[in-house]
Chain A
Amino acid sequence: MNPFFSGTRLSDMIRAIRASKTAAEERAVVRKECAAIRASINENDQDYRHRDLAKLMFIHMLGYPTHFGQMECLKLIASPGFPEKRIGYLGLMLLLDERQEVLMLVTNSLKQDLNHTNQYIVGLALCALGNICSAEMARDLAPEVERLLQFRDPNIRKKAALCAIRIIRKVPDLSENFTNRAAALLKEKHHGVLITGVHLCTEICTVSPEALEYFRKKCTEGLVKTLRDIANSPYSPEYDVAGITDPFLHIRLLKLLRILGQGDAEASDCMNDILAQVASKTESNKNAGNAILYECVQTIMSIEENGGLRVLAINILGKFLSNRDNNIRYVALNMLMRALTVDSQAVQRHRATILECVKDSDASIQKRALELIYLLVNENNVKPLAKELIDYLEVSEQDFKGDLTAKICSIVEKFAPEKIWYIDQMLKVLSEAGNYVKEDVWHALIVVITNAPDLHGYAVRALYRALLRSSEQETLVRVAIWCIGEYADLLVNNAGMLELEDPITVTESDAVDVVETAINHHTSDVTTKAMALIALLKISSRFPSCSERVKSIIGQNKGSFVLELQQRSLEFSSVIQKHQNIRSSLVERMPVLDEATFSGRRAGSLPANVSTSGKSPLSIPNGVAKAAAPLVDLLDLSSDDVPAPTASSANFLQDLLGVDLTQPSAQPGTMQPSKAGADILLDLLSIGSPAPVQNGSTNGDLLSIHENNAPLASIDTISSTSPTAPSSMVDLLDAFGPTPPTSEDKGPAYPSIVAFESSSLKIEFNFTKQPENPQTTDIVATFTNLTPNVYTDFLFQAAVPKFLQLHLDPASSNSLPANGNIKQTMRVTNSQHGKKPIVMRMRVGYKTNGKDVLEEGQINNFPREL
């Protein structure tokens, strides 16, 4: 006897499970039952197979694994009796899905059962086939289903029709086999067969244009007659739903008529009368009637133009829209969206009601209505609509604010009649829901402001006012302090006053106050604080009287734990303290940001690195460069999450300021921000010439944050390539070390090598050595994507022999933009320095176009002296 045997019946098991007080108890019961079922399966116990499967299905519903019972289903299906087959098929549909291999085994049983003499068994097989049929099964069993469409019992015919639908969905080519039989079903009287037959025809029409033409010619009139009969039929208790005879049949007929009438005037004409009748006569006080009306309106909107009918349909939608039932309003909004393409004027008439729906308490209705309103906006109505939406923003629920904000921003941007209005609206949005505003949206606002010179004063004053009112919205703070930094003078002396503005008195120290508040505010993040530091630097130059105060505020961040802020603080302090002579030119107003470049970049049409490599900007010193492209990088400030931003400009600063990248191990977490920050500096100094970048020997240690012996020679390289800014360059160094760099023993230079190159990827190594530690080599690997496809999940792995030690830092990004590059630093310590050269095996894995790619290679061409 089976030791696990438990005589529990199905209901006993369910009772035991329900009686469990804790999840653990329930698991114990299930585990025990499963053990018993497994044992019984192993013994091939025929008597209990039935019951075991029923239990398994219940256990399955509770979410426990039941795959071991799959074969039992097949065994039950293969047994001769109806009761066994019934539960076997049920288990099959419940425990398996069409992707499981086990299903292949059932095809043969299905075929036998489809040909069974017992029609109940045929019905079971059809039901299972309809619910789980895969493409292979569809091909194998289509002939059986085709034959069963003519079976004598209507209950089998209707099941066969639905099976045929599934088969056509899996293998559209098979539709032609069913066309004639499907057309025959349309003449049936039995509602079940009629419903499924009509649906089968609809399905065939969607996959086969020839069949559509065939049905249009042969069946349109018949279908119209069927619909008329059913619409006019007297009360029939069997099919009655709320006073309507068979609404389901109504709806399916209307659906098929829609497809037949679409794009065919003759067929449309044929159905006009009956559609008018259904649209005007159907009772609309119950859900069933409304379901028919809804379907009828859809059909009227889709078939060929008939003015009178359209008016009728739009009126029905108008009635729906003012209905008190939320369901009806929801479908009305849904339908109006589709009606928009047909008759946008009619939809516009309901604008006020739709706007009310945006403010509904039901999230589903809100969402629909907002999408509809979004489509209704045009140049003429944008002002009132935007006002309504922005007003609603104040009171809307938190969950909805994100969607609403995005839509408002998009509307305002797209249809703004003038810049001042755009700035006004964006200001309202920023003050109300700034935290929901996406990065590119507020970047766009800054770009627009810089492009409207006559509005600079107005914008900065308005932002100042807004900032005083709501300092909690991060993006508002960012835009405001950016503008205050740039246009502080306009803020204080009320320059460029517009007539509509109220005069405002802001002193110089007021301006410093707001920036100081922003920098000290607890919610401000690194980006905001970093922007505030720049603003302060600029203010210090605009308002010499505040210079001391600014210096002390900036100085407070010298001890910041965030590398980015600490660095800025140190650099800016130094600029203020020691370099009065260059400061004013250093912090001149930003040149106008190029809108075209920005919007192109925003749309993703420009590769990220175009800013420096695409055009070669004029190397005009100190921020007066006219080339706008690299300046766009300023906006990168906050886009820390943009993968591999402007790789080539990052290159620069790495060389230029040695900010990090070569020492990311020290601060891996802050790598991205500081890179972006260096972008800024790069832009500040406007050193547009990419000359020093490629110079391997200058790599990394130019400014030597960690050491004082920065090689002067390297500085000379830079100085010579950007002769206009040498003084500031060298001075900047002061911030980092007590002694100015002098010429000391400079580490030997090593040529960079191409470590690996394939048709899709190139890897270059640049080497640097610290002179006091000849065993250790820092390698900067540059991965260049040679294809126009983006690589994601990029991973570089390397292995070295025992005498070497390898330390890999994280790469600058794990995705490689098309034709772009990323960098990764590693440090190799060669214990056999001077005796053996470095060798390395490497492997690169990435995803492109959805495929995983793996490339491998050995790197033997390291310079010998490493």
Chain B
Amino acid sequence: MIHFVLLVSRQGKVRLTKWYSPYTQKERSKVIRELSGVILNRGPKLCNFVEWRGYKVVYKRYASLYFCMCIDQEDNELEVLEIIHHYVEILDRYFGSVCELDLIFHFHKAYYILDELLIAGELQESSKKTIARIVSAHDQVVEAAKEEAGSISNIIAQATK
């Protein structure tokens, strides 16, 4: 299973974290620190796997962002690379050629999409189209609720924009 998903920028800034196994806040920040140190320092031509505390971390760099997923020893590393790519393609389709800024200002959207892709650290859906459809359906419900509500709710909804 995937124990956690981590998006780190080349400067070491965290852009997204999702934990499927219990880690305390302290452990979380330690893990992030440790791993970003290891991964950001690896050369470009090396393999995309790092062995770490008895687990494996599969990472892949897209532009300035590193997508990392931590898996068990016996999991299929190549498949996880494919899952990462799958996620990136969905993000790309959703935002329309996604960039790091999209993921900063609309971080919650990145989370919503991830929630349609993975649950309990396992893959949920292999069709990009299905995921795109569900997320946009959710967005529409939110939009509709916003319009329906009076001026006050309008303000609320804007906050999530």
Contacts and interface: CB of A to CB of B under 8 A. Distances in A.
Nearest to A121: B141
Contacts of A61: 14-17, 107
Contacts of B81: 287, 291, 327
Contacts of B159: 9-10, 48, 50-52, 54-55
A57 B108 contact: yes
Interface in B1-46: 14-20, 22-25, 29, 43, 45-46
A18 B153 CA distance: 28
B46 A361 contact: yes
Contacts of A562: none
A810 B161 CA distance: 63
B152 interface: yes
Contact of A196 (B14, B16, B122): B122
A832 B29 CA distance: 57
A518 to B, nearest CB: 38
Contact of B48 (A51, A52, A131, A327): A327
Contacts of B138: 82, 86, 120
A363 B158 CA distance: 48
A531 interface: no
A594 to B, nearest CB: 37
Contacts of B55: none
A4 interface: no
A802 interface: no
Contact of A54 (B79, B108, B142): B108
B50 A364 contact: yes
Nearest to A52: B159
A853 B81 CA distance: 49
A228 B81 CA distance: 24
Interface stretch (B61-69, B90-98, B124-132): B124-132
Interface in B83-126: 83, 85-86, 104-105, 107-108, 111-112, 115, 119-120, 122-126
Given A48-B156, A191-B126, A58 B51 contact: no
A247 B81 CA distance: 12
B13 to A, nearest CB: 8
B126 A249 contact: yes
B127 to A, nearest CB: 5
Contacts of A330: 47, 49, 77
A126 B156 CA distance: 25
Contacts of B50: 364
B127 A191 contact: yes
Contacts of A65: 25
The majority secondary structure among interface residues of chain B is helix
A87 B104 CA distance: 16
Contacts of A239: 126-127
A10 B105 CA distance: 8
A9 B161 CA distance: 9
Contacts of A291: 76, 78-79, 81-82
B108 A50 contact: no
Given A246-B126, A327-B77, A166 B46 contact: no
Given A57-B108, A90-B108, A295-B76, A131 B119 contact: yes
Contact of B119 (A87, A98, A163, A252): A163
Interface string A36-52: 00000000000111111
Nearest to A338: B74
Interface residues of A, number: 79
Interface string A144-167: 000000000001001100110110
Contacts of A191: 125-127
Contacts of A362: 45-47
A126 B116 CA distance: 11
Interface in A323-339: 326-331, 334
A288 B85 CA distance: 10
A195 interface: yes
B78 A83 contact: no
Interface in A60-76: 61-63, 65
A597 B137 CA distance: 74
B161 A10 contact: yes
A54 B130 contact: no
Interface string B133-158: 01001100110011000001101111
Contacts of B16: 61
Contacts of B77: 327, 330-331, 334
Contacts of B122: 162, 165, 196, 199
A278 B124 CA distance: 23
Nearest to B20: A131
A98 B23 CA distance: 9
Interface in A224-243: 238-239, 241
Interface in A114-171: 120, 123, 126-127, 130-131, 133, 155, 158-159, 162-163, 165-166, 169
Interface string A9-31: 11100100010000000000000
Contact of B141 (A82, A99, A248): A82
Given A97-B24, A162-B124, A239-B126, A247 B82 contact: yes
Listed residue (A62, A166, A246, A361) with the most chain B CB atoms within 10 angstroms of its CB: A166
Nearest to A248: B126
Given A241-B82, A327-B48, A83 B160 contact: yes
A192 interface: yes
Contact of B123 (A47, A52, A248): A248
A367 B46 CA distance: 13
Contacts of A238: 127-130
A631 interface: no
Interface string A444-479: 000000000000000000000000000000000000
Listed residue (B50, B126, B128) with the most chain A CB atoms within 10 angstroms of its CB: B126
B47 A364 contact: yes
Contact of A14 (B14, B104, B155): B104
Nearest to A128: B115
A57 B15 CA distance: 11
B45 A326 contact: yes
Given A50-B156, A120-B138, A166 B120 contact: yes
Contacts of A586: none
Contacts of B25: 65
A65 B25 CA distance: 9
A51 B160 contact: yes
A252 B76 CA distance: 10
A309 interface: no
A364 B49 CA distance: 7
Given A238-B129, A288-B82, A97 B141 contact: no
Contact of A326 (B46, B124, B127, B129): B46
State the 9 A-B residue pairs at the shortest beta-carbon distance, nearest first. A51-B159, A291-B78, A326-B47, A130-B119, A166-B120, A162-B119, A192-B125, A130-B120, A362-B46
Given A10-B160, A63-B29, 18 more contacts: A51-B156, A54-B160, A57-B108, A61-B14, A82-B138, A83-B146, A90-B115, A94-B111, A123-B134, A131-B20, A131-B119, A155-B134, A192-B126, A196-B123, A241-B86, A251-B76, A287-B78, A287-B85
Interface of B: 14-20, 22-25, 29, 43, 45-51, 76-79, 81-83, 85-86, 104-105, 107-108, 111-112, 115, 119-120, 122-130, 134, 137-138, 141-142, 145-146, 152-153, 155-161
28 contacts: A11-B161, A14-B105, A50-B156, A61-B14, A61-B17, A62-B14, A82-B138, A86-B112, A86-B142, A94-B111, A97-B19, A97-B22, A158-B124, A162-B119, A162-B120, A162-B122, A196-B124, A238-B127, A238-B128, A238-B129, A241-B82, A252-B123, A287-B85, A326-B45, A327-B78, A361-B46, A362-B46, A364-B51
Interface of A: 9-11, 14, 18, 47-52, 54-55, 57-58, 61-63, 65, 81-83, 86-87, 90, 93-94, 97-99, 120, 123, 126-127, 130-131, 133, 155, 158-159, 162-163, 165-166, 169, 191-192, 195-196, 199, 238-239, 241, 246-249, 251-252, 287-288, 290-291, 294-295, 298, 326-331, 334, 361-365, 367
